[in-house]
Structure 1
Amino acid sequence: MNNFTESNLNNSGSRCYPNADVVTKVLPTMYTFVFIIGFFLNGMNLWIFCYIPSNRSFIVYLKNIVIADLLMTLTFPMKIISDAGLGNLQLRLFVCRYSAVVFYLNMYIGIIFLGILGFDRYYKIVRPMNNSSFQNVYHSKIISALIWAVMAFISIPNMILTNQTVNQTTNPSCAKLKSYLGIQWHQASNYICISIFVIVLILLLTFYASISRKIYRSHQRFKRGSNAGRKSTRNIYSILVVFFICFVPYHVCRIPYTISQTATKGYSCQDQNNLFYVKEMTLLLSAANVCLDPIIYFFMCQPFRQMLFKKLHIEDKLKETEKTFRVSSTQPGLV
């Protein structure tokens, strides 16, 4: 998440502020919509998954994504209130020290698990006869715990080292609250997180290419499509769609934005503000991941679909409609 109202030094050395209406009205309003939808969907997802046993590895991974999305969603209200200027300085400090760190922690945990889901689909369709520890339920729980532990180890120091005192009359950026060691750790953790994104992106593209090639060869050999192959393609395609919509734009624009923040010349105030707006809108797309992940649950997890239909009584209604149609079609004179 961004700092409060970020300001930068332009080439002339004067302060450069983005449009206040965008920062305090437009962005908080959009985050509010994402929060309402995300909280409802992830609350329902958690409720549905509570009735689904963790007897398969990909269900374990999906449950971890649900937890990460829900924790990420719960950070939105504090950001909304802080950015809208409705909270006091202590709330703003809390956003910098804790909720922003939790936001990014769960965002990158979600990215890692999307990569693992892609790997799980890859093994299922490309190497169905091979056993992988990623597909063992016991091992998948250990892997999940390790991912949370490692990412917490990377992120928690950003909370601890954001420990500088500030003047009550000022409105500091999050960077101003960090000690020298805190800034160094923050930069290092940023590089690690960007590396995680790049690795997962490359792996997902590799997995998808391998699955497509496998399905194509199967089609050529048997002169017909494989239902399992088409299903697996659809499953991993849903992962790619969510991944590209939510995370690729933010990481693409993050590089020029970071350069603009550290460059001593070459960026006018307007350039810096435009990059800030693009960065904030793409970060909003990353936040919207909490609303799009249910697409993956629905397409990838048949037990989730069945339990969802059961809890919403959709399956019973479909059966009643089908039964009525069969009875009607047997009546003479009816088309």
Structure 2
Amino acid sequence: MDHLNSTLPSTNQSDFGSLFTHQVLPSLYFVICIVGLSLNGVAAWIFFRVPSDSGLVVYLKNMVVADLLMLTSFPFRVAAELNLGGWFLHVIICRYTAVLFYSSMYVGILFMGLISLERYVKIVGHTSPPCKTRLGVSSLHFLQSVGFARGLALFNWSLLLLCVLPNAVLTSQPANESNSRHCMQLKTPLGMQWHRVSTFFSVGLFWVTLLVLIFCYASIANQIYRSYRRVRQDSSEICRKSNRSIFSILAVFFVCFVPYHVCRMPYTISQMPASGFSPSSRFLLFQLKEGTLFLSALNVCLDPIIYFLMCQTFRESLLRKMSGRRRRRRSLTTAQSASTI
């Protein structure tokens, strides 16, 4: 996978830094690190007091874990760009934290696909007449099972771990100050081959997940239209709420992940020997890759919106805790006022 300090051919990477990559982006990463930790900390605090009574809750809890893991890589990125920690910090990023960033990102992407499928089964299956429920929908009801969701979550984490762990293990060439910023130079020959394989695999997962999201959203939108035509107000209300929640996933997915994966294709080609790209073109592609990668990282701040819109239990727990805090604050203010009289 392209690492956070992913390299172009070794002679040019250090020249590709700019005001944008060395000053603007570290500041932005610092901001989303603080905001993301706050939002996901609250989400984790609420979610892990909520029983896993549905497949949806299981998938959402795993998204929280993926976001928290991704957040742990941000301080290393910021410190490295601010020239803190010396050259060895860049080695740590190449070997470990960049791998953590990408594995967490793709785990989150997979769970977005599973959540969309679960919503598709629930909404389309719920609003279709029993005699007309499609075989494809009824055959996917296992996605709503808590036991199956837990097994699938474990499978997803294991699959991504097996895919990305060699990227850390095989980044084992002797490091020094001159090659510390060039992650590909730290890889063994086998590590370079594995890097290519895992990159194609993860990008393939992304595009498959995108197709799944588009299919689910289109099916749900079609179901809404059909419900309105049948003048079934109760089903229409269910569809409107569910449409709003799954649209939040689609919006976050397109804003955060699509730009990076579109940019990644020409950027990866530009890294290859004799690619024919001019230095100015490679510089531009590097800047675009870094900017769109930041959009992918922004996902950690937008996912809590999905939790709030999609999970009624989460939403009710959050609102209940907020109202309880306001009541306690009001009671404390009243008590303090009374004591001054």
TM over 0.5, yes or no? yes
Could you say if the C-alpha distance between residues 280 and 301 of structure 1 is closer, same or farther in structure 2, counting changes exceeding 3 Å? same
Aligned to 1:158: 167
TM-superposed deviation, 1:3: 5.1
Aligned to 1:324: none
Contact 1:3–1:173 under 8 Å retained in 2: no
Aligned to 1:200: 209
Which of 233, 252, 255 is the aligned partner of 2:262?
252
User: After alignment, is 76-85 or 264-273 more displaced?
Assistant: 264-273
Query: For residues 14 and 83 of structure 1, what CA distance do their matches in structure 2 show?
Result: 17
TM-superposed deviation, 1:290: 0.3
Contact 1:61–1:144 under 8 Å retained in 2: yes
Where do 1:146-225 residues align within 5 Å?
A: 146-222=155-231, 224=233
Q: Which runs of 5+ in 2 are unaligned?
A: 131-137, 331-341
Where do 1:91-130 residues align within 5 Å?
A: 91-128=89-126, 130=138
| SS of equivalent residue, structure 1 residue 266 | coil
Contact 1:101–1:158 under 8 Å retained in 2: yes
User: After alignment, is 258-267 or 270-279 more displaced?
Assistant: 258-267
TM-superposed deviation, 1:171: 3.9
| SS of equivalent residue, structure 1 residue 165 | coil
| AA aligned opposite 1:277 | Q
TM-superposed deviation, 1:8: 4.1
Could you say if the C-alpha distance between residues 114 and 23 of structure 1 is closer, same or farther in structure 2, counting changes exceeding 3 Å? same
Contact 2:99–2:164 under 8 Å retained in 1: yes
Aligned to 1:135: 144
Structure 1 stretches of 4+ with a deviation exceeding 6 A read: 13-16, 314-317
TM-superposed deviation, 1:26: 1.6
Aligned to 2:72: 74
Contact 2:124–2:223 under 8 Å retained in 1: yes
Aligned to 2:24: 26
Aligned to 1:275: 285
Which of 33, 43, 51 is the aligned partner of 2:49?
51
Contact 1:7–1:16 under 8 Å retained in 2: no
Query: For residues 269 and 216 of structure 2, what CA distance do their matches in structure 1 show?
Result: 32
Could you say if the C-alpha distance between residues 170 and 211 of structure 1 is closer, same or farther in structure 2, counting changes exceeding 3 Å? closer
Which of 59, 62, 78 is the aligned partner of 1:61?
59
| SS of equivalent residue, structure 1 residue 312 | helix
Query: For residues 325 and 225 of structure 2, what CA distance do their matches in structure 1 show?
Result: 34
| SS of equivalent residue, structure 2 residue 213 | helix
Contact 2:179–2:186 under 8 Å retained in 1: no
User: After alignment, is 111-120 or 306-315 more displaced?
Assistant: 306-315
Query: For residues 227 and 275 of structure 2, what CA distance do their matches in structure 1 show?
Result: 56
Could you say if the C-alpha distance between residues 166 and 203 of structure 1 is closer, same or farther in structure 2, counting changes exceeding 3 Å? same
1:65-95 deviations in whole A, cap 9, x for unaligned? 0000001001100111112221222221111
TM-superposed deviation, 1:4: 3.9
TM-superposed deviation, 1:58: 0.2
| SS of equivalent residue, structure 2 residue 85 | coil
Aligned to 1:329: none
Aligned to 2:336: none
Query: For residues 108 and 31 of structure 1, what CA distance do their matches in structure 2 show?
Result: 19
CA RMSD of aligned residues (A): 2.1
Query: For residues 192 and 122 of structure 1, what CA distance do their matches in structure 2 show?
Result: 25
| AA aligned opposite 1:174 | C
TM-superposed deviation, 1:266: 3.1
Q: Which runs of 5+ in 1 are unaligned?
A: 321-335
Given the alignment of the two structures, is residue 232 of structure 1 paired with residue 242 of structure 2, yes or no? Answer: yes
Q: How many aligned residue pairs are there?
A: 315
Could you say if the C-alpha distance between residues 100 and 271 of structure 1 is closer, same or farther in structure 2, counting changes exceeding 3 Å? same
TM-superposed deviation, 1:50: 1.8
| SS of equivalent residue, structure 1 residue 17 | helix
| AA aligned opposite 1:156 | L
| AA aligned opposite 1:199 | V
